Chains A and B, each alone.
Chain A
């Protein structure tokens, strides 16, 4: 087939006659295997997955950035733990958020990378890229996206248009029940019989959907938008039931998780680590079993009130108050940052341990590390660290260090949307508006 001799970039270059790439790359299943990895399972191509991993207070400048650029870089001291996965991880240094407004503490990094910058005063942030990507790639999985938080709160940075935040599940047991409870359909089960109760539920919910036009017709614009969001959510649930009524494709790497113990709802780092471990275990199973293609894992919010047992200070307080040593380094802050890097590594490693054809689950996904600040000590909005594990099913080149030198975070947000096929050419707010993705990581 002619297509097999081309790749997506070839098509794009041809279509644009070599002009600057400013359009989204269409999501064409037939290209998924073009980058040296075989993702096929049972003769079918497995879809790409996108995840975010959020945590506040960044890293200490000078202690995380690789010293060299491009391939074969070495992680800085506080990210050394990631070394075994270096070939699958990209690091971006020098990114920042731009704004003519006051950037409130603990918001800049998330706003810049996920929503393309701050919004106009009084207006909610724009939709986050995970929701935009989910609308593009996640419509055929049971859950459009899954959100969890390890600090016992429903904190989430996933937001839809209009400021609607997708809340996180904070109980591992509740999360397990939601995915692998009574409604779960095992894709590898030989026989499939649609559940009549699901059919009834779907049919009944469509009766609620039918109220839409009557209700919307009486409302003003802002209320209409709110209610429309309700009906979008309802439609998502109907779609979910619809998918559950179809025989799922077999997924050889799918292993149903076992019901976990419930986590502790505290910000003690031991508890956050345990919750993270439980949620990662469940999320890996959820992805491997085809339940979702987009997820958002929040470690401990942006304020980062994580703390060690017996210490009166939180990680956040230490960033403000801990004395620096002769290198300008805060020792306890650094300890927290290395613990956090270790959790990220364990998460990525877990995904990488799932074999799928010639590759791993991590190879067909990308998990984006998102944080609020650059220099934690001063809550800075420059040199905000970003790294990402996984090659997004061959859409992203990996193992690279990109020195952005003061570029806006929105460039990376645009890059990832285009990599996942979102049709967007220009993105971002105020001075963050950009039409230039980071071509160096685009496969």
Chain B
């Protein structure tokens, strides 16, 4: 990907193959590279991100939300909150958009072989873990127990609802879904409570277990002490940082947390690494 004579800011062109509304303001785009060679050769690892462009509006940074095991397309998932994301949301099936990437480091999935995994996530922070969840489920026999704790403010804010159902129905995954108090309808069959509380009640064993944590800062803040109480070491907890980026290439000077460049050194970090950083994320 570092072809030295190329314009590193030139995106690949991709066609929107499918549009899925996850919530009223969160959308998934399934994207297929237009160039056959790119389609065949584009490879990435779970945790990496890309720059997605709506021409005329600009570029936005999101993780690649689909799994590297699913070939032929990639997916992104975003909330329409600004100029670029609003323009990406306007795209219809068949429209063309741009993708630069993949960039950044990734989850060291090989180091998770043979271990139990617990995914802990909230709201729109499921997509950065969903890539890894499917990556692991597609190589299911390499891992021990897989548990997913996923929460959102309300039922309507849960993303990937169809996949939550699929995970619930699978016998080789345990899904614990929850919504904040007041966020549930009478028909809600999940838990009611904040993610850290639900995790505390669930009390998963930290024995031979890796915790993969991704969520809003307040969720991370209150979940880390619970994990610590459960006996998870800081090296056994992985998270992703989501600082604002432009180039994604370690040049534009925007995403640094102290001397750590999230775009190059991250976005995947262990809790140990994050704790060593200044509070600038």
Real binding pair: no
Question: Which chain B residues have a beta carbon within 8 Å of chain A's beta carbons?
Answer: none
Residues of A within 8 A of B (CB): none
